[in-house]
Structure 1
């Protein structure tokens, strides 16, 4: 197939098409992971984005369902240098996702690093894309909304309650607010004998408290956290009533619920090689990350502390505090991380944080 990638600055990149014959719009981002293309494509946090992989060879170890982070692909399109297997091609076709290969992904990545993430259009076609069609495609890119104007979480969150039971005796119970959760997060909790009650992003605080959980976890998810107003309101009402933690967007939503601020990063953090420092212990972990927004260091919620920082750019990678409930002076912890302790793909340096969640829940369990 033929394919073209058009950027909002007018750049036109011709290549070869694979996957579905289709035309999509999205925010063009890059991911630096050397492996994990299946996990990346199926991560719900990539909803609304066209992904460029910096590693040149994609598809060389096939596709297996056990690697999926959700039921299917959530990214809008896929940009790679070399396609090395039919399995990856078929995977995109099955999910109606277009791809382009045979392009200079180093050039694309350097452009994003220089200009920031860009709106883009990816079109793949069995017929050659003529020159006179390009101007119309450029106009479509220019007319496309910025991702900060599109509410994405409702498109990837579960629409009903789902209960995940451990195979052994349940030790603690967690309500997971699903803003686009990765399967690995649920797996990491269940394998620690935690019953996970996965609920929609707009579940009310009362509905959550009625489940009588030992703690609440706010998941990762796509888009601008400021648009997820239902979840922010729920978090406000839960603070101080039980232990709360968050991952990725969960960190940003906690920040907003507590009165802090978030902002959009120039090109985000996406890959499996992000160094994070724990400011309490001084330890450094290599982490997996996928986010385009961050907590504003200059506007940390009052009374809270920055727990982790990214050593590449000193951005906030986590906040924490003991919250005091005014009615009966019960202390309940609130902490969250911007990175992905479950990895998928990436290093497992931070998986111990799931043990910390269980320990926290047991400590404050009624």
Structure 2
């Protein structure tokens, strides 16, 4: 009964409302005022500011008089930014959106990244050279850019694709907006794209080459032809993003951000290890983590001869992450072969793939790669599961590895090889990012394992 009474009350209210609307004039007591604000000012619109306009309407006016009395100033332009940018994929699909950052035309492989945070770190990761990154997180740009969280000195990806570009920046560390940063780095951005639909398309068909352009004169057929004529397969991008000369690195993780105090304690109990790091596109946070664990690092170019590395007599050699096709860098594989067995070595991502080839294995291209901060990895010796940050499009085929190589880590999403240990050659590798930035810190223990390998090989210092 109470429910029926409630519904009847609602019906009565609705009937009264309809009745009032049907004969509006009796509902107006004396005078009715209608306030019409000026249209909002937006980028690209041609609205001019004007004060509020208040129109007094007599209660005796006819409906026609009332309609004609509401005067709204017509705008010359639209109150929203027009879709002035296109993403055209090699399969012929076209995605239109709003441009930000630089203008022009770029070509690259389109991948999606599932990380919820860390777009600045992703954009400055050299491993994204030759690629466009579509962020599955819908809201990008809200914390701006701060110049401290970057993983290299510049932005390396070809373009960024977002659902919603934040109109405001809310972070005390921010120095410029994402739009301003992209303009400075000459990177094209496209917003307003249905990134969920785009991600589903990439998952179904695999990574696709795309062209992003703000040039309206280019036809779709022309852009599709450009996309079909380019591929990342066979591209050696290591030498493109690598340093040109060797340099030293000493800076560890800042105390404010240190998440593994035991690393600092470990470093204080022994002389520093000297590590030579091959720069295939090395991230700053890898160098910081090595330094935090007590290493002094000499970073060398991707093409640096192995003989020169061995002359330095380091405690260990590190092979870094990097972009492109690992099979397109035979010089890196040959250098790794010369070093294997002579010094402890550790490889991450591209370094994992280079060492896999040096072991005697082969690499293959994944359907849509692994890009994100939530990939589960099982460490086979103990069964421990780590949540990892990943960014790669190629993998090592375990069936091609020699019998002495142990597959220590497996990606639980697709069963691919995510880590190896070759005891005879004093080598360990992982196919993900233990340094995170962005991402979880579960795998930071890999740096400690590398320290243990170098410690075991270090010549004991005689006690006087």
Indicate whether 1:216 and 2:317 are aligned: yes
Aligned residue for 1:151? 236
CA distance in 1, matches of 2:426, 2:222: 53
CA distance in 2, matches of 1:227, 1:10: 28
Of the three residues 152, 166, 169, the one matched with 1:84 is 166
For 1:267-306, list aligned pairs within 5 A. 267-306=368-407
| Structure exhibiting the larger radius of gyration computed from Cα positions | 2
List, as ranges, runs of 4+ consecutive aligned residues in structure 1 with deviation greater than 2 Å: 132-135, 165-170
For 1:191-210, list aligned pairs within 5 A. 191-210=292-311
Tell me, yes or no, if the aligned pair for 1:62 and 1:85 is still in contact at 8 Å: no
Tell me, yes or no, if the aligned pair for 2:251 and 2:288 is still in contact at 8 Å: no
CA distance in 2, matches of 1:174, 1:166: 14
CA distance in 1, matches of 2:422, 2:225: 48
Q: CA deviation at 1:302?
A: 3.3
Indicate whether 1:123 and 2:208 are aligned: no
CA distance in 2, matches of 1:227, 1:153: 9
Of the three residues 232, 241, 245, the one matched with 2:346 is 245
Aligned residue for 1:339? 432
Indicate whether 1:356 and 2:430 are aligned: no
Deviations 1:46-79 (A, max 9, x none): 0000110001000111111111000011000000
Indicate whether 1:231 and 2:332 are aligned: yes
Deviations 1:235-288 (A, max 9, x none): 101111010110001111001011111100000000000000000010000000
Deviations 1:139-196 (A, max 9, x none): 211222x101321111101111011125887510100011111110001011222001
Indicate whether 1:254 and 2:344 are aligned: no
Tell me, yes or no, if the aligned pair for 1:300 and 1:306 is still in contact at 8 Å: no
Tell me, yes or no, if the aligned pair for 2:118 and 2:438 is still in contact at 8 Å: yes
Tell me, yes or no, if the aligned pair for 2:420 and 2:430 is still in contact at 8 Å: yes
CA distance in 1, matches of 2:94, 2:242: 34
Deviations 1:15-60 (A, max 9, x none): 1000101210000000000001000000000000011000100011
Q: CA deviation at 1:135?
A: 2.2
CA distance in 1, matches of 2:294, 2:98: 47
Scaled by the length of structure 1, the TM-score of the pair is 0.94
Higher relative CO (Cα under 8 Å, sequence separation at least 6) belongs to: 1
Tell me, yes or no, if the aligned pair for 1:260 and 1:302 is still in contact at 8 Å: no
Task: Name stretches of at least 5 consecutive residues in structure 2 with no aligned partner.
Answer: 1-82, 169-176, 253-266, 460-464
* SS of structure 1 residue aligned to 2:354: helix
* SS of structure 1 residue aligned to 2:148: helix
Number of equivalences? 353
Tell me, yes or no, if the aligned pair for 2:390 and 2:432 is still in contact at 8 Å: yes
Tell me, yes or no, if the aligned pair for 1:273 and 1:287 is still in contact at 8 Å: yes
Tell me, yes or no, if the aligned pair for 1:22 and 1:97 is still in contact at 8 Å: no
Report which of the two has the higher share of strand. 1
CA distance in 2, matches of 1:150, 1:282: 36
Task: Name stretches of at least 5 consecutive residues in structure 1 with no aligned partner.
Answer: 324-331
Of the three residues 119, 138, 149, the one matched with 1:37 is 119
* SS of structure 1 residue aligned to 2:381: coil
CA distance in 1, matches of 2:85, 2:193: 10
Indicate whether 1:50 and 2:140 are aligned: no
Shift in CA distance, 22/334, structure 1 to aligned 2, threshold 3 Å: same
